[in-house]
Structure 1
Amino acid sequence: MSELSLVSAFPKAENAAWKALVEKALKGAPFSALESKTYDGAVIAPLYPPSKDGAVVPGRDPGAPWEVIQRIEIPDAETANRQILEDLNSGASGIALLFEGAVGNRGYALTADAGTLKAALEGVHLEWGVPVELQLGTNAKTVCEIVADLIAERGIPVNRTNIRFGCDPIGTLAANGWSDASVDETAALAKDLSSRGFEGPFAVADGRPVHEAGGTEAQELAFVLASAIAYLRAFEAAGIVLDDARRTIFFRLAADQDQFLTTAKFRALRKLWSRVEEACGLTPEPAFVAGETAWRMMTKRHPQANIVRGTIATLAAAIGGANAFTVLPYSGAIGLPEDFARRVARNTQTVLLEESNLYRVADPSAGSGALEALTRDLCGAAWRLFQKFEDAGGVVEALKSGLFQEAVTDTGKARETAMARRKDSLIGTSDFPDLGEDAIAVMDVAPTKTNGVAQTVTPLTPIRLGESFEALRDRSDTILAESGVRPKIFLACLGRPADFNVRAAFAKSLFEAGGIEAVAATSEQTLAETLDGFRASGASLACVCSSDKMYASDGAKAAKALKDAGAAHVYLAGKPGELEAALREAGVESFVAAGGNALETLSGAYEHLGA
C-alpha cells in the first residue's frame, strides 16, 4: 500500500501569496496597520521568516529544571517557619527571604536579627543545598553575617550550602532613593564571605525597580547590565580575581504577561552579559538569571486573573532560560497571601515543570524569526542605553543626575495612558470586570512601618497599572455600602441582538470597569419598552447601543426620548461620523468607543451621577 502524503495536497506556503491575501483583507489600508511597536520603539511585524541565526543561547543546563522559589516576607518568625516548611515540603525548591528596604518589598518583611532568622530557618536542611536567596535592603551586612554565623553554629560545611546573598545597594538606591551601603562596602563584604568559604553569589543586579516603575525592557536590561558591571569593577578592585568575580554576581528580571517580549528579554540579558565577559577577556559562561512575576500587572480586583497572568509570565521566563523563578501569589496586591494563594503559586510552576516538561528543551525559542528579531532589537537598544550610563560615569552617577528616573517615569506615564485608553488591558480590571466577585482573604498582618531615611536620589516609584480603575471600583463599593445600590447606567439597545450585542458588550465592560453597573435588555424591544426599562432600572445615566444603520434611522429619536425621560447624561456607543451633529442636537452628550480615554469617561460619569 502506498503511503498517503497530505503535504502534496496543499500548495507550498509562500510569503508573497500570504501578503497578497493580507493586502486584499486590508481593503486599501497600509500594511503597516498590522505592525505594532514596543515601548522601546521596536517594530513588531505580523510575520517573520525563520531566523538564519538559530544558535542556542546558553542558559540552564539542557534538561535541568529551574528552581521554584517562594517569597518569605512574613514578619512573625514562627509563622514564617511554618510557611517555609510547607513550601519546601510541597514542591518549592527554595526560598527567598525578604528584609526591610529590599527591592520588591511590599510592606512586609523579616526582621534583621539573629533570633528571627534562627527561628525562621528551624528545621530547614541548609546542608542539603536548599537554595536560600536573601533579598536585602537595609542592614544587608548584618543579615549576611547572621546567616554565615548560623551556618557555622550548626556545624554545616559551607560548601554544602546554597546561599545567594543578594546584596544590591544600587537596586536599593533606585527603589528607595537611599542605600545604607555602597558598592565598595558590598565588595568588602563579598571578600569577607568568600574568606569564610562561601562561593556566592554575593550581589544581584536586579531589574525590578525599573520594571515596577513602568520602564521598558531595554531600560531594565541596561540597568541590570550597568549594575553588574559596577559590582564587577568593585569586586576586582577589592582583590577578587576577575574570573571569580563574575561568578559572584547573579541577575534578576521581572516577567510579565507580554510573553514574547519577556522571553526575548531573558535571552537578551544572557547575550549582553556574554558580550561583557568577552570585552573583559573572559570566555563567556552562562549567567545565573532569576525571575519574578511582575508587580505592575498585579490587580486587587478579580485577583484570580493574576493566576493567568502569572502562568504566562512563568512560561515566558522558562522558555527564556530562567534558572530560578518566583510566582507572586495571586492575592499579593490585596495583602499578605494566605496558604491557598501560595499553594497556587507553587503549583503554577509545578504544572509547567512536571506536566508540560518545559525545562527539557534548551532555549526552545532558538531559530524563531520573531523571538530572534526581538532579542536582537532588545540587545541593541539596551546596549546603547548602557553606553549612556557609562558616559555618565556609571549607573550610580546616572541615578544621581535623575535623567534615568525621568526616562523611566515618562514610560510609566505612557503605560498608564495606554491603560486609561484600554489599549493595554488587565482582564478583570480594565476589561471584563465582575462586579459580583467575592472578597479574597489574606493574612491579618499589618504592613511593616519603615523608618524614614533621607533620600539622596529620586526613587523609581512602583506602579500597578490597574490602580486607577481599582480606585473607581472602591468608589462604587462605598456608594453600595452607603445606599444599598451601585451606581447604574441603562444600556438602551436598539434593534435586534445582532444589531446591538457587540456595542452593548463594549459599553458594559467599559462602565463596569469603573464600578457602574450596566442594565440592559437581551432581546429586541420597541422604543416604548426600552423607555419603560430605563425608568424601571433606577439608572440616571443611559447609553444608546446599536449598529451604525440603526443609529442613522433611530439613534436621534432614542436619545431625545431618553433625555425627555429624565436621563442625566446620554452616551452613545461608537463613533458617530457624519451623524454627530444630529445626535448631539437630539441629546447625546458623549460618545464612547475603542481608543477613547476610559478613565476620563468613568470619572465624568461619577460627576454626572453627583457622586
Structure 2
Amino acid sequence: MAPHEGDEARAAWLRLVERTLGGRPASSLAARIEPSMLVEPLAPAGRLPPLWSRGGSAWTRLQRLDRDDIASARRGLENGADGIEFVLAGAPTAWRGGIEHAALAPLLGELPIDRLALRFSAGSRLEVAATIDDAIAAARLDPSLMRVSFGLDPIGGAARGGATLAKGQRDALVATVERLAGRGYRGPVLSADARPIHAAGGFASTELAYAAAAYVSLLRALLDGGVVDGVALAAIDVALAADADQFVTMSKLRAMRLLQARILAAAGLPPAALPLHAETAWSMLAAEDEGSNVVRATIAALAAALGGADSIAVLPHRAASAAGDAEAERLALTLQAVLAEEARLHAVDDPGAGSGTVESLTLALAEAAWSLLQEIEGLGGLPAAESSSWLAARIAADREDGRRRLASGEAAIIGVTLHRADGAPLPDPVDEAVGDPFGARRRAAPFERRSS
C-alpha cells in the first residue's frame, strides 16, 4: 500500500524539526506527565468528536466560602459571582476551618438564594441536606427552580476513614436522594469529590481513578437501593482539582467524561450528562512570592474552562497565608470574569478536540485511570482499597515522586524552588501533614522558609 500523502508530509515536517534540534529525535520533546506516562507534543491531529458543549453559555462562577462570614459572601456576589460554594467544617475539602453546621441556615437566610447557584461541600453529613431544604422551604421557594448541588460525599468519607457504609447508612443515602428528587430538586445531591486526592499529592490518573471509583460506589448504592435509573444518574456530580499544568488539567476533565461514559456503558445504563465542578488546586498555592499564585490560578482556571468544567471556584492567591483577604477574593472572581467575558473561553465547544496532544493525553489518562479503577474494584471497591492501604500507598508514591522532582530541579515552583526572591538555597524538605496519608499538602510548603 502506498504511503498516505499526509504521512509523507508529516515525515518531512518531523525531519525539519529534528534538524532544528541538532539531530536529536523529535521524540526527545516528549513530556513526562507521570512516571509511566509520556506525552508527545507533536502528535498528529486528533479525530475524536467534542466531548462537551455548554451550548454557548459560560460556566458558573462560584466563590468558595469556608467560614461564617456573610460580608464575604455579599462581597463575592457584588464582585460577579454567580453563586457560592459553602464548605462545611469537617468536609475533606475544608482546607482551613469550614462553616459549622449550626451557622449554615442563618447564612442562607441572609442571602438572595433564589438568584444564586448554591454548591455545598458537606462530606458525609447527610443531615446538611435537610438544613438546606428547610432554608429553601422557609423562603417559600420552588426547589425545581433552584440551582443546588448538595455535595454530599458519604462514600468518599467512608473510604478515607477506612470503613464501608453500613446498610442503615445506605438506606439513609437512598432516602435522602429520593426525598430531594420528590421535592423537585434538579441539581446533584451526591458528589464523587476527588479534590482531596489531588491535595494529598495524588497524580492526575490517581485522582481520576478515585473519582471514577467513588462515582461507581455512589451509583451502585443508589441502584441497589431501588432508586430509578434517571434519578440515580441525575443525583451524582464529580469534582476535580485544576492546577497550573494546563494541558494535564484540560485532558483530565475531558478524560473524566470518557470514564463516566464507559462506566455507564459497562453497567448497561443510557448516556447521561455529567455535572463537573473544578476548583483551583490547594496544593499549588505558595505562601512565598504570593503574586505567582495569581498566574498559577489564571492558568488553572483557563484550563478548567477549556476542559469543560460546568462550574469553577478559584482559590484566592493569599488563601495559604491570609484567609479572608477581601482583595484576594475580589481578584479571584475578577480573574474568572476576564476569562469568561473578555477572553470568551466558553464560546467554543471543547477546544481540545482535534488537538493530537490533548486527545492523546486525554486517552492516556483515561486508560491509566480505568486500569486503576479495575484494581480498586478487584479489591472490593473504594473503602476496601483504603482499608488495605492500597490507596494510601498509591498517593504516597505519587507524592514522593513529585517532591523528588522538585528537590532535584526536574520540576519547579516559581518563587519557591526557582527564582527565589532571597536567593537562598532550598531548605531540607519537611512534610506538612506527617502521619496523615490523606492530609492536604501544599507542594511548596516543604521548601518554604521556616521560622527557627
Give the TM-score normalised by the residue count of structure 1.
0.67
Displacement of 1:264 after TM fit?
0.5
8 Å Cα contact 1:175-1:459 kept in structure 2: no
**Matches of 1:169 and 1:459 in 2, distance apart?**
19
Q: Does 1:392 align with 2:370?
A: no
Displacement of 1:24 after TM fit?
3.5
Q: What is residue 169 of structure 1 aligned with on the other side?
A: 154
SS where residue 312 of structure 1 aligns? helix
Matching residue's letter, 1:49: P
Question: Which of 108, 122, 131 in structure 1 is aligned with 2:117?
Answer: 131
Runs of 5+ unmatched residues, structure 2: 1-7, 424-434
**Matches of 2:446 and 2:352 in 1, distance apart?**
36
**Matches of 1:108 and 1:461 in 2, distance apart?**
14
**Matches of 1:294 and 1:344 in 2, distance apart?**
16
Q: What is residue 388 of structure 2 aligned with on the other side?
A: 401
Task: String of CA shifts for 1:360-393, please: whole Å, max 9, x gaps.
Answer: 1110111111111111111111111111111111
Q: Does 1:33 align with 2:28?
A: yes
Displacement of 1:122 after TM fit?
3.4
Task: String of CA shifts for 1:313-359, please: whole Å, max 9, x gaps.
Answer: 11111111100001000001113131100001001100000000000
Which runs of structure 2 are paired with 1:60-99 in the superposition (5 Å)? 60-75=53-68, 80-99=69-88
> Structure 1 residues 149-158 or 374-383, which shifts more?
149-158
Task: String of CA shifts for 1:85-137, please: whole Å, max 9, x gaps.
Answer: 22112210110111111122123211101xx2233123422223x11111013
Which runs of structure 2 are paired with 1:208-607 in the superposition (5 Å)? 208-435=195-422, 459-470=437-448, 473-475=449-451
**Matches of 1:91 and 1:247 in 2, distance apart?**
28
Question: Which of 192, 196, 209 in structure 1 is aligned with 2:183?
Answer: 196
Q: What is residue 7 of structure 1 aligned with on the other side?
A: none
**Matches of 2:306 and 2:233 in 1, distance apart?**
24
SS where residue 37 of structure 1 aligns? strand
Question: Which of 85, 92, 102 in structure 2 is aligned with 1:103?
Answer: 92
Give aligned-pair identity as a percent: 34
Question: Which of 142, 157, 160 in structure 2 is aligned with 1:157?
Answer: 142
> Structure 1 residues 25-34 or 383-392, which shifts more?
25-34
SS where residue 264 of structure 2 aligns? helix
With over 3 angstroms needed to count, the CA separation of the structure-2 counterparts of 1:26 and 1:355, relative to structure 1, is closer
Matching residue's letter, 1:378: L
Q: What is residue 49 of structure 2 aligned with on the other side?
A: 55
8 Å Cα contact 1:73-1:109 kept in structure 2: yes
Higher relative contact order (Cα pairs below 8 Å, separated by 6+ residues) = 2
Matching residue's letter, 2:143: V
SS where residue 68 of structure 1 aligns? strand
8 Å Cα contact 2:95-2:440 kept in structure 1: no
**Matches of 2:9 and 2:220 in 1, distance apart?**
51
Q: What is residue 145 of structure 1 aligned with on the other side?
A: 130
Task: String of CA shifts for 1:66-88, please: whole Å, max 9, x gaps.
Answer: 0001111123xxxx212212211
Give the TM-score normalised by the residue count of structure 2.
0.90
With over 3 angstroms needed to count, the CA separation of the structure-2 counterparts of 1:430 and 1:179, relative to structure 1, is farther
**Matches of 1:316 and 1:183 in 2, distance apart?**
36
**Matches of 2:218 and 2:211 in 1, distance apart?**
11
SS where residue 474 of structure 1 aligns? coil
Question: Which of 5, 15, 20 in structure 1 is aligned with 2:15?
Answer: 20
Matching residue's letter, 2:156: G
SS where residue 327 of structure 2 aligns? helix
Matching residue's letter, 2:121: Q
8 Å Cα contact 2:123-2:151 kept in structure 1: no
Q: What is residue 432 of structure 2 aligned with on the other side?
A: none
8 Å Cα contact 1:135-1:167 kept in structure 2: yes
SS where residue 71 of structure 1 aligns? strand
8 Å Cα contact 2:162-2:383 kept in structure 1: no
Matching residue's letter, 1:97: F
Runs of 5+ unmatched residues, structure 1: 1-12, 437-456, 479-611
Task: String of CA shifts for 1:501-556, please: whole Å, max 9, x gaps.
Answer: xxxxxxxxxxxxxxxxxxxxxxxxxxxxxxxxxxxxxxxxxxxxxxxxxxxxxxxx
Matching residue's letter, 1:134: F
**Matches of 2:338 and 2:122 in 1, distance apart?**
30
With over 3 angstroms needed to count, the CA separation of the structure-2 counterparts of 1:278 and 1:99, relative to structure 1, is same
Displacement of 1:18 after TM fit?
3.4
8 Å Cα contact 2:162-2:387 kept in structure 1: no
* Higher-Rg member (1/2): 1
With over 3 angstroms needed to count, the CA separation of the structure-2 counterparts of 1:200 and 1:29, relative to structure 1, is closer
8 Å Cα contact 2:252-2:362 kept in structure 1: yes
8 Å Cα contact 1:405-1:458 kept in structure 2: no
SS where residue 44 of structure 2 aligns? coil
With over 3 angstroms needed to count, the CA separation of the structure-2 counterparts of 1:145 and 1:40, relative to structure 1, is farther
**Matches of 1:175 and 1:47 in 2, distance apart?**
40
Task: String of CA shifts for 1:165-219, please: whole Å, max 9, x gaps.
Answer: 1110233345566799855532332223233333341100011121112112111
**Matches of 1:29 and 1:414 in 2, distance apart?**
27
8 Å Cα contact 1:215-1:408 kept in structure 2: yes
8 Å Cα contact 2:163-2:383 kept in structure 1: no
Q: CA RMSD in A?
A: 2.3
8 Å Cα contact 2:77-2:83 kept in structure 1: yes
